[in-house]
Structure formats: C-alpha cells, structure tokens
Amino acid sequence: MTLREGAPVADAMMELTETSPCAGLLPLRIGGWALEEVPPGALTLIAPYKGQEQALSAALEAVHGMGFPAPNRSHAAREASLIWFGRAQALLIGPPAAEDLAPLAALTDVSDGWAMVRLEGAGAEDVLARLVPLDLRPQVFEIGHSARTELKHMMASITKVEENAFQIMVFRSLARTLVHDLKRAMEAVAARG
Amino acid sequence: MRISGKGLVSGNRTVNFAFNGRHYMGLEGDTLASALLANGVHLLGRSFKYHRPRGILTAGSEEPNALVTIGKGAALEPNIRATQQELFEGLAAQSQNCWPSVERDLMAVNDLAAPFFGAGFYYKTFMWPRGFWEALYEPLIRRAAGLGALSGAANKDPYEKAYAFCDLLVIGSGPAGLMAALTAARAGADVILAEEDSRMGGRLLAEVEEVDGKPAHLWVAEVLAELESLDNVRLMPRTAVTGAYDHGTYSALERVSHHLPPSQSLKTAHRPRECFWRIHAGASVLASGAIERPIAFRNNDRPGIMMAGAVRSYLNRWGVSPGERVTVFGNNDDAHRTARDLLAAGVHVAAVIDSRHDAPDGEGFPVLRGAVVCDSTGRQRLESITIRSVNGEEKIQTDCLAMSGGWNPSLHLTCHLGARPLWRRDLAAFVPRADAVPGMVVAGAANGSFSTHGALTEGAAAAVTALAGLGTSATAAPPPMASDAPYRISPLWAVPGKGRAWLDFQNDVTVKDVTQAAQENFRSVEHMKRYTTLGMATDQGKSSNVAALAVLADATGRSIPETGTTTFRPPFVPTSIAAMGAGAEDQGFAPQRYLTSHQVSQDHGAQDIEVGLWYRASYFARPGETNWRQSCDREVMMVRSAVGVCDVSTLGKIDIQGKDAARLLDLVYSNTFSTLKVGRVRYGLMLREDGFVMDDGTCARLDETHYVMTTTTAAAAQVMAHLEYLTQVVRPEWDVRFASVTDHWAQFSVAGPRARDLINDLVEEDVNAESFPFMGCGAVTVKGVAGRLFRISFSGEHAYEIAVPARYGAALYRLLLERAEALGGGPYGMEALNVLRIEKGFITHAEINGTTTAFDLGMQALVSPKKSCWGKVLSEREGLMEEDRMRLVGLKPIGAVKEISAGAHLFEPDTTVERETDIGYVTSVCFSPTLGHMIGLAMVSAGPERIGETIRLVDHTRGIDALCEVVEPVFYDPEGGRARG
C-alpha cells in the first residue's frame, strides 16, 4: 500500500490525534483586528528541476488552475493558492500536489512545517508595521503580493490575500512567538485609539 | 507671570501639577516650563559640574538647563526637558543633581572650587596613583557631577518600534514645512509631516505675525485642516526626526504618551510611552528651522537669562511673561521683536542693549547702541545686569534678560552622512551644503532663509524639487502674503572680560575652558571638544557649538570656516534605549522554538534547557528526585537497561531531491553517499572550505534521487546556507533541489534493549533484523499515520528514530511514553543524552569546535581517498595531519581527586603548570552511572600515542588539580554490539 506521507489511512485505525500549530493560542480579537489560525490543508513546496520551469508552469495551470508565480506574487484559485516562496520555489496551499508534477519539480510535503495565521481588519498594515520592515501600504503591496521577509526576529512569508487581510507564515515551532509578537503589536496600536 | 488675553493656550481649562513637592496650577496647552514661568518659578535645577542654580533658557528640544525627573519608582524618567513636557493633570516633576533641594544644594561648594575644575581637570589631576581612577576617583566624580539618575529597577512601561513609508518626508511644520507638505499633498504624493513639538506651526505659533492677512496661527490651522482632510497625508506631531541614513531611511522618535497621565484602563495599558520609527522616504524636505544662540558673558547662566526668541514663545504662545522688568541683549534686528512684543503686551522693557552701533531705533523702549552686557547678579534669580559701553559700566535692575546672538540653522541631519556645512558670513552662521543627503532638499530657516516670506516660498519650491527627483511633477502652492524682514546681524560671540562666561550650559564649559584648551595646544575643534567636553552633553551642544568654535577660532588666530565644526551625529534629540530596543525585553529578546512534545514533557516533570532558540527537556524530575544528577543517572540507566524516549526533532532535516542529489552529497560530505543503498542510512562528516570539520550527522537514502540529511541542531541553518552556496555558486549546473523539513517532522529517539518491542507495538510493519537492520530506514505506518523509521543510534544502544508529521507529534510522544513506561522505561532529556554519547565517545560541537580536523577526531578514514570533497584539498595542508596535533582521547580519573571538568587544561604530570607546558584541554565531561565514575573527552597533543599514560588536569577556575589516565575515547561497548544486535 502506498500512502501519501502524513495522510490518515482510515479513521477507524486512528489513535493519534492532531494538534494544530497555534492550538490554544488563537483566535484573538484586539481593537479592530482578528487574528486566526488558517487550517492549511496540504502544503507542498514545488521547486522546478533544471529547464522545467515552463513545462511546470503549464502543468500547474492545467492541474491546479494556476501558473508558477513570479517573484513576490501569488495566485489564488478555488480552495487553493500558490505563492512564491523564495528563489525558484513556490508553495501550493490547499490540495496535495498532483503526481503529474513529480517529473518536473521536486515536491516536498511541508504541510506540518508551518504555522499559518490570518490577520484581518482595517489598517492591518499598521499592526504589521511594528514588526515587518516592508512597505505594506495598500497602493504598494497589493492583493496577491507576497514576500519572504522578517517578522521581528523570525523569517516569514507574508501575503496580502484580501483587502485588509494578510496571511502570515512562520516555522511551526515559532507559533508561540508569532502570536506573542502579533498580539503585542495589536495591543499597542489599539491602545493609541 | 500670565498675561491675560495673550497666548494660544486655553484660559478656561486649568491643570494641577506639582514641582519639587509644591502644587501649582497651569493651563491646558502649557508645557511644564511655561506653567512654571507663569507661576514665577525660575529655578529649575543645578548645573552638571559646579551645581550652579539654573533656569529655563529656551522653549524647545535644545534646552540645556531645565531638565527634570518625572514619575516614580521603576517608571521614573530622568532628563525630561521641561520645555517639551506637556502639562497633564497630576504631573509631578522633580529637580535633578541637587541635594537636599534645588534651593539649598550642598554640592554648590563645587562652584567655589571652580578654579580647579577647568578644562582637562580630570586628565591632569586623577592620573596618579595608577588604579585609583576606577576604584576611587571615577565613582566620586560620578556622584558629584551628573544629570538625572535612573531608578535602578526594571521599567515595565511599554515602548514600541515601527516602520513607515512615504514619498515625501517633511521634517518640521513651520512655514517652510507646511508649504512643502501642502504642495506635495496637493500633487497626490504620500506625505509624512513630522514635527517634534506637540503642536504644528513652528515659529508661526511664537511670533506676532500675519500670514495671508490673518494672524499666523489661524493660517496654520487652515493649512492643517486641509492636510488632515487628505488621505495621502500623515501628520506626526511629537515626532523628532533623529537621524538621516542611507537610501532615504530616517529614524524618528515619537513621544506617544508622555503628555498623558499614567494609564488607568486596561485598553490603554499597552499604550507605548515612545515609538522609535524607521521611516523610508522617497525624498525629504528638511524644514527644521533654526536655533537661537546665546552670547557668552560673565555669569550669563543665571535663572532669568533666556533666549530672546524663547521669551517671545512664552509670551505669544503661552501668554506668559518670564519677567516684569525685562532687558534685551542682542546683535541682530530680530532681538528687537522681543522688546516690541513685550511692550505691546504691557510688560516693562528696561532697555535693549545692542552691540551694533547701527542698531535700529527703539519703538517705545530705550536702545543702547554699541553696548554689551558684561556681568549679572542674583543667586537664584537674575537681579541685575552690568552694561558696558563707551560711557563705562552701568548696573540695571532686571528680572529677565532676553539674549540673542543670532540664529543657527538646524542643519544637523544634513551632516549625518558625512557632509560638512558651509559658512555664510552675512548670516554669521553655517548653512547646509546642497545635496548633503541624497533626496533631501533644505528649506526655510534651516537653509538660512530667516524671513517668513522666504520660508514659505522656499518650502513650496523644495517640495517641487524633491518630488521631481521621484518623477512626480508638482506645482508650488502659491505663497501667502507674509513679512520679508531682512536679517541684519553683526557677530558677537563672547563679551571680553574676567570671570566665567558660559558657552555650554549643560556640561558647564566656559570661554576660559576653550581658550585654555587652545593654549594647551588642543587646537583642532575635535580635540577641543573632547578636552573640554563642550557639546558632549545630552543636548549635543545645540546652543553652544558655533559660539565655541568661534571662540576657538579667535584663540588660534584662524577664521571660523578654517576652524570647522565638530561632527553632528544621530540622534538629533536624546533617544531612550527603551525605545530603540523596544520589543526586545523579556520574551521578545529572541524567538522561542517549541517542540510538539513540550507540554507533555512539562507534565512529566521536564526542566527546560535552551539549545539555540529551541527549548528542550534537560531532565525529567520524578517525585523524590531533588537534584538533576539523580534524574540524569536514572535516565541513563533506564536507556541502558530498558528503553528511553527523547524528542530529537530539533536536529536539522533537509530534504534533497533531483538527479544530481547523490553528486551534491559526495561533494558536501567527506565520505561517499552515491554508493549508499536505498533504504539505508550513513553517518557523514562535512568539512569547511579550509579543511576543518564543519558538522556531522546522518543521511538517509529514500530512493535513487531522494535523500534526507540530518544536521546537528546548532548547525542546521549553517548547513542549509552551505548547500545554497554549493548549488548556487560552485555547481550551479547540477539539477538538485532541497528544502528544510525540520519543522514538518516530529522525530523521537527510542533507545534501549527494549526499543524494538516498543516500536513493534506501535507500527503496523514487522520491524526485525531483516526489515530494519542497523542503519536501515523505511516508511512505516504509525497508528494509521504514514511515518518514517530510521535505525540509528546516538546512545550506543539498539535504537530507532521514529518520525511522523508534526501535527501528530504530541499524540505520538504521549503514546511512546505510555508504552515505554510499561516496559520499564520512560523519557530522557539532554543531560542523559549527553552522558550516553560521551560514554560512547560520540562527538558534538564541543569537539567540532572549529579548530579540529577529521584527523584530530580520529575520523580520517571518513575522508574518502577515492573522491574529492569540499575542503579536502585544504585538509591535506602541511601541519593538519601531524602526529603531535591535539587529538581526541578519553580521560578517567586515577588519583585521589575524582573530578574532571570541561575546559580544564592538561599537562605532563611532572612539569610546571604554564602556558608553555599546556598539552591539551577537556571538551566534554560527565558522571557515567554505567561506569560509576567521571569520564571526559579531551583534545591532547599526540593524544592516541599517550593512551595508558597519566596526565595532570588543572582547572584554575574551579580549583581542580587531578591526575587522569588517557584512554580510548569510547568507554562503553567499544565493539558496538549493543547497537547492531
């Protein structure tokens, strides 16, 4: 029997319960902002092999409805998104990556490697301005823009997913610090009134 | 004295406050300084060195004298400038540097000893005897001299750091700044207008002036209303831009809540005191105005002697006259405005003393032309001044002297990238050099344009120029009608005469100190500064620098431009460390990485230990165990006799794929991985380019083109960066991809004779010697979850590492502990892990310390002779494989002293203990419960050749002197039967 790693075989056999990266930490509501954990589904890191960039993009388009994103950009389709994740890497969020892609790119399952949260509310960029050294003004960092950057002392992936909403990812083990830092920033901005 | 009908403060709203324990009343909109002056309080503090009584000199951030302490307990804040501190209900402020009180300060005795305290006093006096400086002199001097003191307790007040971005940053909100902001805002640019004052408007709030046919402050209000109505403008009052840096980056300090009473509600509990901004601007307009400079004359530091412009500020903005019988002393036309304004407000002006023979006529007040003030009297408040003219000397009774030696453009930011300002003779002032800071245009008084009309016009034009640099075209906002009075000045820096004439009020530096420095050949302005400490106080000599270098120029017979200025450096205003380091206190110091097993471990009595950013279990204290060693010894014996479980997820895990994956591993590891069979694991060593060992770990081959590499916890990021370097720079043509999967997998070591029983209990597959031989690996199903199993051992026991996706980590760990306990085992921590590996002679970064080679570690066999690898060539350099290099051995105690300590040094038993006879050092030690004594690993010169010999161990730090036997580094099961079986 072949299994996708991490996938449960059958519910009846399940004895291992799941714990999400931000379990017990979220959701939070402070000021006009909501901070929630995003259930990631599957996360697959897609790194094209030599010379396969175009073929991969076409295959991605065909299977997942989105081409390979340009640097600092992301694509969103129904229940799936594909974000640029560093040099020659993209992260597929939602469905598992189609097997057809395997000859074209290294596919690495990192579903459990990241804590993923969503910060939403008018002026969410003011909260992030306490932690992130990027220009996140709406006219500069538009919906669909994405960046690998630092959030305070952590390296992070930040994507503008909707108006007033950012998706923020850090390594799973850093979830507590992520929530701590964001909570502090939200409280400080909210306290100014 | 409050003048009714004057000022922009609200007359109806009173505010109660206290100063030095006495209660006073001020008005809303007052600063502490204006409120104290309104209450007739002029004595605010004592000076730095001589403890001279001091009052308020200025009305802005340049204030050198009026520093106070605010707050109580841990939240106490020293060195707050009373001229900036806004009044709030219940504000309580204290004077500084005085005891028992500001009125009777015992340290004022220093003033009598003044002849001894001149320039270079410390250097001349406290040189001998050697060693007394730190032990005696410095503590004494620090007690006697100084400004405010910190509480010594940890201040829990919140502070904040933030980033901001804009097209145009306008620094200063006077006439130039407002016109620049208006011009840019109307052109649609994203504008930040930063103003250090609480209220925008600059000098327009402080002068009797008409702009656009109406009182200036009304024009200011109209402009601000327009700016506020625009989405693309961000007004930042109470925000001082403190530094200009590369690429359009500016630092700024916002005083967020210093003007508010301490927080009472939960919502405002997190309100920061200050915010340290890093602003990135496409371009900037510097409209920071100018700072008026004092004139040095004997006893010019008495409370009641103030800047002429500050007197106008107090009168026109706050409706306060600082005196009832005021005199004015100046060398320029601007000073006369003070007399005019005071007179119009009904204050008696005794005289205007103007050093110029061609000074204009007085308008209802006497003007003494060609005269100077040469002395003053009055201990705690000015009582009289002495005027010197061709007619001789004359004393005048006065309680306030308004002085003006002219204005210095506030060009500090233009010098932050290294530019030097230019001297303008007609202004007797330095002005900024054009393009001193790329993208910055200077306008208004900061640029030497001192008239209101000039500032308005230049401000609008500056925005057009600055925006053009960004490719944005803008039309200059039409300048409103305003006065265009010429600035007429004739330089006057210091009035000649005996006695002490102050230049730097904050650091107590006088004209005499500067001339003495010149006499003692400290002629360079930078040397003079350091010798006299002029300009080195918290005000950075904003009021004193130019006058001091003019005095120095005179003393050395050079011109002012020849003498030059000292270097202006950030920050422009004092910036609290709390603001710059905001967010880094407590938990914010460094991110914390937690294992999925963390909570379960805590429930089992785990004590955390920090390993890099990770928090791992050090040991598990069982009831009755009072010492870590008890827990550690039990855990070691548990692993040796039954089974132990340890979370090893912190080790770096790197997934490597691609048809050149094997080639990459052959390059990065000193041994060969292309020959590794699928389903097997191999231990590998990595070298740095210089041939020394970088890291070690195991690497498993999952299929032909797919490996998973393990690094040490400490070197995970370093190895990842190394792989990036090798694939991007050295072998960019190879087709190989890799990704960190450290956080994706929760991985647990299961070690001990019962390990296989435990594993078989949890996985569906039959784990036996054939399916999982020593160094085998493969996929397993763990309670329905697809995982991985590696048969590897860091303990020397029969052991596995079992991995599942991290979401199941906590559940699997709980289950592993449950089953282990049923088998007589349980969890073990880092301490036991360390003992287990030392007993086996396995190395960590204590041994891979950056100075050791594979040869030194006895691992030369792992550097394959059949292939090349990264670092191999340099590892073969002469000297790197000499027999007498420090090489890895084991140690065990054989003398009366049974202790071994890490870091101890090693010597021949019969030599002296000296650096020259040092033959090695101890890298790792532990008490081995398996063997019943301490053991250690050490690097010893020609170590392997000394096996069986006695060696002397000396640890001066811990006071240990012991004899040890040099032994093989593997203490336990050297054949390795336990792990393989």
Nearest residue of chain B to residue A45 (CA atoms): B739
What's the pLDDT band for A9 if we cut at 50, 70, 90? very low
For an interface test with B, give the residue of A17, A29, A110 to mutate (most B CBs within 10 A). Answer: A110
Lookup: tokens for B236? 């930042």
The class of domain B652-740 in CATH terms is alpha beta
| Predicted pLDDT at B564 | 87
Which among A9, A130, A193 has CB closest to B781? A9
What's the pLDDT band for B137 if we cut at 50, 70, 90? low
Nearest residue of chain B to residue A141 (CA atoms): B165
User: What does B354-370 look like in DSSP terms, one character per residue?
Assistant: ES-TTPPPPSSS-EEET
Contact B267, A191 (CB under 8 A): yes
> Rounded to whole angstroms, how far apart are CA atoms B842 and B865?
23
Q: In the predicted model, what is the mean pLDDT of residues B761-766?
A: 96
Q: In the predicted model, what is the mean pLDDT of residues B496-505?
A: 94
What's the pLDDT band for B12 if we cut at 50, 70, 90? confident
A108 and B739 within 8 Å at the Cβ level: the answer is yes
- Res B125 pLDDT > 70: no
Q: In the predicted model, what is the mean pLDDT of residues B476-480?
A: 94
What are the tens digits of pLDDT across the range A104-125?
999 999 999 999 999 999 999 9
What are the tens digits of pLDDT across the range B510-520?
999 999 999 99
Measured between beta carbons, the chain A residues lying within 8 angstroms of B614 are 173
The class of domain B294-405 in CATH terms is alpha beta
What are the tens digits of pLDDT across the range B383-426?
999 999 999 999 999 999 999 999 999 999 999 999 999 999 99
Please tell me if residue A106 touches chain B, with a CB cutoff of 8 Å: yes
- Cβ-Cβ pairs closer than 8 A, A with B, add up to 173
Q: pTM of the prediction?
A: 0.93
Please tell me if residue B657 touches chain A, with a CB cutoff of 8 Å: yes
Q: Where are the beta strands (DSSP E) in B183-289?
A: 191-194, 210-211, 214-215, 233-236, 239-245, 249-255, 274-286
Q: In the predicted model, what is the mean pLDDT of residues B177-202?
A: 98
What average pLDDT is seen over chain B? 94
| Predicted pLDDT at B326 | 98
Nearest residue of chain B to residue A86 (CA atoms): B739
A188 and B270 within 8 Å at the Cβ level: the answer is yes
Burial of B910 (C-beta count, 10 Å sphere; 0-12/13-18/19+): exposed
Looking at chain B, the whole-number percentage of residues with pLDDT higher than 70 is 97
Q: Does domain B500-563 have CATH number 1.10.10.1100?
A: yes
What are the tens digits of pLDDT across the range B312-342?
999 999 999 999 999 999 999 999 999 999 9
What's the pLDDT band for B145 if we cut at 50, 70, 90? low
| Cα separation values, B487 from B208, B289, B426, B490, Å | 17, 14, 9, 10
| Predicted pLDDT at B700 | 98
Contact B414, B244 (CB under 8 A): yes
Q: In the predicted model, what is the mean pLDDT of residues A176-188?
A: 97
Contact B452, B369 (CB under 8 A): no
What's the pLDDT band for B128 if we cut at 50, 70, 90? low
Which among A3, A130, A192 has CB closest to B786? A3
The domain B1-151 is placed in CATH, from the list 3.50.50.60, 3.40.50.2300, 3.10.20.440, 3.40.50.300, at 3.10.20.440
Q: Does domain B882-980 have CATH number 2.40.30.110?
A: yes
Domains and CATH numbers, chain A: 24-192 (3.30.1360.120)
Fold of B160-290+409-468: FAD/NAD(P)-binding domain (3.50.50)
> Rounded to whole angstroms, how far apart are CA atoms A109 and B245?
43
Closest-CA distance of chain B to residue A76, Å: 23
Which residues 183-202 of chain B have a CB within 8 Å of chain A?
Answer: 190
Please tell me if residue B594 touches chain A, with a CB cutoff of 8 Å: yes
Domain boundaries, chain B: 1-151, 160-290+409-468, 294-405, 500-563, 597-650+744-837, 652-740, 882-980
Please tell me if residue A39 touches chain B, with a CB cutoff of 8 Å: no
Q: In the predicted model, what is the mean pLDDT of residues B293-310?
A: 97
B743 and A113 within 8 Å at the Cβ level: the answer is yes
A9 and B267 within 8 Å at the Cβ level: the answer is no
Please tell me if residue B702 touches chain A, with a CB cutoff of 8 Å: no
| Predicted pLDDT at A1 | 34
Closest-CA distance of chain A to residue B473, Å: 19
What's the pLDDT band for A10 if we cut at 50, 70, 90? very low
Please tell me if residue A16 touches chain B, with a CB cutoff of 8 Å: yes
- Res B126 pLDDT > 70: no
Nearest residue of chain B to residue A137 (CA atoms): B165
Q: In the predicted model, what is the mean pLDDT of residues B438-445?
A: 98
**Does B652-740 match B294-405 at the fold level?**
no
Q: In the predicted model, what is the mean pLDDT of residues B935-955?
A: 97
Q: In the predicted model, what is the mean pLDDT of residues B360-379?
A: 95
What are the tens digits of pLDDT across the range B91-120?
999 998 777 787 887 777 777 777 666 777
Which residues 131-170 of chain A have a CB within 8 Å of chain B?
Answer: 132-135, 137, 139-140, 152-154
Partnered with residue A38 across adjacent β-strands are none
> Rounded to whole angstroms, how far apart are CA atoms B168 and B241?
13
A110 and B739 within 8 Å at the Cβ level: the answer is yes
- Res B855 pLDDT > 50: yes
Please tell me if residue B663 touches chain A, with a CB cutoff of 8 Å: no
| Cα separation values, B933 from B299, B641, B900, Å | 78, 18, 10
Which among B744, B784, B804 has CB closest to A10? B784
| Predicted pLDDT at A2 | 40
Lookup: tokens for B616? 């791992």
Nearest residue of chain B to residue A176 (CA atoms): B592
Give CATH for domain B597-650+744-837.
3.30.1360.120
What's the pLDDT band for B122 if we cut at 50, 70, 90? low
Highest mean pLDDT among A2-16, B40-54, B669-683: B669-683
